Amino acid sequence: MGSQWSNDKAYRQAKKSGYRSRAALKLQEILRKNPVIRQDDNILDLGAAPGSWLQVLREMTDGVLVGVDINPINPIPGVTTLTGDFSDPVVIARIRELMPEVNGIVCDASPKLSGTRSYDQARAIDLNQQALRVARTLLKRGGNLIMKSFQGEDFSWLYNQVKKDFYSVRTYKAQTTRKGSTEMYIIAKNFIGYEPDPEENLSDGSA
């Protein structure tokens, strides 16, 4: 990875600061512009590997931090990590045991990109739907959500789904996003609580 990104200024800056990836700088920027994490918040990080967002979060809150990823995450002092699918009920149950309440959820997860934009965006939206389900299940009323997505055909649908559950929702494109990327963050504040709509089908972005 070092040879691939050695000419990337953000990557070099992140490594110099002791972070595991350039994504740490994105989260720092997002939180400067959108201060949604309080000093005592318990935060759940979905798709957390390699752990750079957890490193930033540990600097910002004294609350409980839990990171989940299908890939193992090297230990971070003061952070609990789980290896597994964050949509798995067994993983959800374990999170409940570890966290008395969840004040915030962050998700920087993205699928392995194929290079076919429409296909990659559809897979990213599917991950977003899974993350939103977790938020609806675990997030405390009044809690906040930061979630990475990608602009495309189904992005507006996803955005409107999030708006149903939070009082304030906006999008944010990080300055460190690579040129040409459709990457976009959804910043959702003040979770209302979720009541299932019998006519809603969250698994179908075309609905």
Report the binding-site residues.
Answer: 51, 53, 69, 85, 108
| Whether the Cβ atoms of residue 205 and residue 159 lie closer than 8 Å to each other | no
Q: Between the CA of residue 122 and those of 3, 78, 88, what are the distances in Å?
A: 30, 35, 20
Catalytic residue from among 26, 112, 148, 164:
148
> Has 33 been annotated as catalytic?
no
- Residues facing residue 106 across a β-bridge: 45, 146
- 56, 46, 75, 45: which is closest to 18 by C-alpha? 56
Detail the residues annotated as belonging to a binding site for S-adenosyl-L-methionine. Answer: 51, 53, 69, 85, 108
- 97, 105, 75, 63: which is closest to 191 by C-alpha? 105
Helix (H, G, I), strand (E, B) or coil at 105: strand
Cα 123 to chain centroid distance, Å, stands at 15
The 3-state secondary structure of 148-193 reads EEECCCCHHHHHHHHHCCEEEEEEECCCCCCCCCCEEEEEEEEECC
Q: Which residues are catalytic?
A: 148
